[in-house]
Chains A and B, each alone.
Chain A
Amino acid sequence: MKNKFFEKYFVFTPYFWLVLFFFIPLAIIFKISISVSEWGMPPYQDIFLFDNGFKINTTFENYVYIFSDYYYIGSFINSLILALISTFFCLLIGFPLAFYIATSNIKLRNILLVLVVIPFWSSFLLRVYAWKIILQNNGIINVILINLGITSEPLQLLYNQYAVIMGIVYTYLPLMILPLYGYLNKFDLNLIEASKDLGLNRFKTFFKVILPLSIPGVIAGSLLVFIPVVGEFIIPEMLGGSDRLYYGKILWEEFFVNRNWPGASALAFTGIIILVLPIIIFQIIYSRWSEKNEI
């Protein structure tokens, strides 16, 4: 009896996980986002009031507020652009690497895979901090450039959006390589030879055979990079300048500096909806399409 129960509901474990750690927190965020803010702890009023009879105390002012100020929307757009560019570069660097790893012999393959994963063994903060040292005015890159006579003054490599993109690409590259490797590993190399045999050169073979057949890996890797980069806070904070505001930074400030919990929650909730909804719709369409096409 107990076993049967277990068997029957075991499949719901991932859903249980999803409810506990995604939908419940999301609901709490939503609840705070429609609360009226006040000075105090917590810095918002309850949404159900019982003092003079039952009263629902909600407001959508927080949403109106964030949508009326370009400060918030602009930062979100900045983050989307940053995520898009970073994902593109991760893909540009990650695809050839993943392909090379997947097609090399088993001994070399294992070494390369370990090399991809090794950075995860050290602290993320430490690695980003190391970049700060490398890129600073008297850092190793500037010292080399000056000594070679390429530049007379140190270049400003740090505190701009290029440093941010570089830091993000560096940090998130393994998240692109690993799912891509997973797909390319199963790739039948005869297909590449068949394509060449039928008259397509390397370039055309890539676009007609290799890329279409690795779309699932490209999508998996891109999502793993894109979604967290939109909310990335630490890398822009450490390597970026003050010229560009990003979504993660605004969220942090609203929550912890301005203590505007309802406003920050509204911002967070909007962000999640804007990000997750299109991805869910896309996934449904894509899984139907790939089922039909049997990739």
Chain B
Amino acid sequence: MDKNFLVIENISKSFGENKVLENINLNISKSEFFGLLGSSGSGKTTLLRILGGFEKPDTGRVILDGVDITNLEPFNRPLNYMFQSYALFPHLNVFNNLAFGIKENFTSKEIEIKVKDISELLSIENLLNRRIKQLSGGEQQRVALGRCLIKKPKLLLLDEPLAALDKKLRSKTQLELTALQKKLKITFVFVTHDQEEAMSLSDRMAIMKNGLILECSSPEEIYENPKSLYTAKFIGIANIIEIYKKDENYYSDDLDINFYLSKDLKKTKTNILLRPEKIKIQSINNSKIYPFNSFNGEIIEKSYLGSFTRYEIKINNKIISVLDQNFNSNSNYNFPIGERVLCSWEKESIKILED
């Protein structure tokens, strides 16, 4: 596998006084499904538009498959861009939208075959004579995807590919998109503000904030071992606790408990991350009290989520979130609001946020 299929090198971009991207470096492998995750204003869409050729970077280069494409016009790049709004041509029907990008290079017979193939791949073969306005959101998304894929691009850029779909359709399309990408082996780079979408689609993803890449890794790695406070909070639910060294151990003022860590801290004071599903919750009467890594608190809120129950547990003035798997099949597995419970965790579950 070519690890340097798409190389983004020192890309910076400003709009007037506003610095949108600062020294972005990324290497994306061939056939990788790569996500750019960030909130609005993080620069993720600008980066995607630079890859598409719609914006010129102030500095830096974009190299695709060994070719420097930084200064190529969009119509000369061997890649395609799927717009968030899909940007389908309203004056053309589905067939002509699909055939739009290949009309010049192929005979009408070849075009017909190609359109037939791609429409069968995306199961839109019965829509070819429809106008764009007669299509549902999901159908439009497929046409937009087909219009790009018919050109067999080396790289497909997707701007919020699922944002315009309703929730139920979104999860279905998510699975289809991943299957399609694995089947075609085309490199996909997509932009999203939705962390769940980023986690479920990406092989690897980059977290962006204020024009910088904070972290770039697999979704598992970013969730389990985030490097910064921002990513820890941005992905999933995070309990952030400040601890400092006291005698031989670590101590939290907020929780008034001792922490036992698997390794020593470099600094005397730091933030740690405790994911809610790593915390075990037990009733107080049938359990011992541990000297470390546990506390007892009062359940002040609870939401039943089917396979899980989410509790908000108050200790001193701090609220800790806990996700408890609904393991038992009898109906009394839940703790009621107001009950005091014992929460505990393994020392390996404590993630130290160094910066």
Contacts and interface: CB of A to CB of B under 8 A. Distances in A.
Interface of A: 188, 190-191, 193-201, 208-209, 212-213, 293-295
Contacts of A191: 87, 89
Contacts, number: 61
A294 B75 contact: no
Which of A194, A208, A294 neighbours the largest number of chain B CB atoms within 10 Å of its CB? A194
Nearest to A208: B100
Q: Please provide the 7 A-B residue pairs with the shortest distance between their CB atoms, ordered closest to farther.
A: A198-B101, A190-B87, A194-B87, A196-B74, A197-B81, A196-B75, A212-B91
Interface residues of B, number: 24
A167 to B, nearest CB: 36
Given A199-B75, A200-B75, A194 B91 contact: no
A251 B317 CA distance: 93
Contact of B90 (A196, A200, A294): A294
Contacts of A294: 90, 131, 133
Chain A CB within 10 Å — which of B54, B74, B100 has the most?
B74
B91 A295 contact: yes
Nearest to A213: B91
A198 B100 contact: yes
B312 to A, nearest CB: 43
B83 interface: yes
A190 B91 contact: no
Interface in B39-80: 52-54, 73-75, 77, 80
Interface string B126-140: 000001010000000
Contact of A190 (B77, B83, B104): B83
A188 B131 contact: no
Given A196-B73, A197-B74, A293 B83 contact: no
A158 B77 CA distance: 52
Nearest to B157: A197
20 contacts: A190-B87, A193-B54, A193-B74, A193-B87, A196-B73, A197-B52, A197-B53, A197-B74, A197-B148, A198-B100, A198-B147, A198-B151, A199-B75, A200-B100, A201-B73, A208-B100, A213-B89, A213-B90, A293-B91, A294-B131
Contacts of B108: none
Contacts of A190: 83, 85, 87
A201 B101 CA distance: 11
Contacts of A193: 52, 54, 74, 81, 83, 87
Given A199-B101, A294-B133, 13 more contacts: A191-B89, A193-B81, A194-B81, A194-B83, A194-B88, A195-B89, A197-B74, A198-B80, A198-B100, A200-B75, A200-B100, A294-B90, A295-B90
Given A193-B83, A195-B100, A201 B75 contact: yes
B91 to A, nearest CB: 5
Nearest to B49: A193
Nearest to A290: B91
Contacts of A200: 75, 100-101
A199 B81 CA distance: 11
Contacts of B147: 198
B89 A199 contact: no
Contacts of A195: 89, 100
A213 B131 CA distance: 14
Contacts of B101: 198-200
A190 B54 CA distance: 10
A295 B133 CA distance: 10
B112 to A, nearest CB: 18
B1 to A, nearest CB: 26
Given A197-B80, A198-B80, A293-B131, A188 B87 contact: yes
Nearest to B80: A197
A200 B104 CA distance: 9
A146 B148 CA distance: 59
A209 B89 CA distance: 8
Interface string B95-111: 00000110010000000
Nearest to A193: B54
A199 B104 CA distance: 9
A200 to B, nearest CB: 6
A193 B148 CA distance: 13
Given A213-B90, A293-B91, A197 B75 contact: yes
A37 B265 CA distance: 112
A295 B52 CA distance: 28
A199 B151 contact: yes
Contacts of A196: 53, 73-75
A28 B7 CA distance: 78
Contacts of A293: 91, 131
